[in-house]
Amino acid sequence: MKKTVISVIGKDSVGIISKISATAAEYNVNIIDITQSVLQDMFCMVMLTDIGGLSCSFSEFSNKLQALGKELNLEIHVMHEDIFNSMHRI
């Protein structure tokens, strides 16, 4: 299993989760967990995914989501889980 965190920040609107999940499914990315909240007036959503079976290259997937982010006026980042583990867990 190769875990990656997809984080989404921006203004809330209808269908954000559905569109991102659709892209994930299109590239064979399994969603393990989703949390969302409003922090400092911003909609924040975090998806923990398994990209072990990713059907394209990592950068292609990441670019695709970033393009989707632009379209929806959201910031979407795709980052390896390790970066959060190493920063926030001793």
Shortest distance (Å) from residue 77 CB to other proteins: 5
- How many residues belong to the site for other proteins (CB under 8 A)? 29
Cα(64)–Cα(68) distance, rounded to whole angstroms? 6
Binding of residue 7 to other proteins (CB under 8 A): yes
Q: Answer whether 47's CB lies under 8 Å from 33's CB.
A: yes
Shortest distance (Å) from residue 26 CB to other proteins: 19
Residues between 16 and 75 with contacts to other proteins, criterion CB under 8 A: 32-33, 35-37, 39, 44, 46, 48, 58-59, 62, 75
Q: Answer whether 43's CB lies under 8 Å from 88's CB.
A: no
Q: If phi over 0 gives left and psi between -120 and 50 gives alpha, with beta otherwise, what is residue 28?
A: left
Q: Which residue in 74, 87, 85 sits closest to 7, CA to CA?
A: 74
Chain residues in the site for other proteins (CB under 8 A) = 5, 7, 9, 32-33, 35-37, 39, 44, 46, 48, 58-59, 62, 75, 77-89
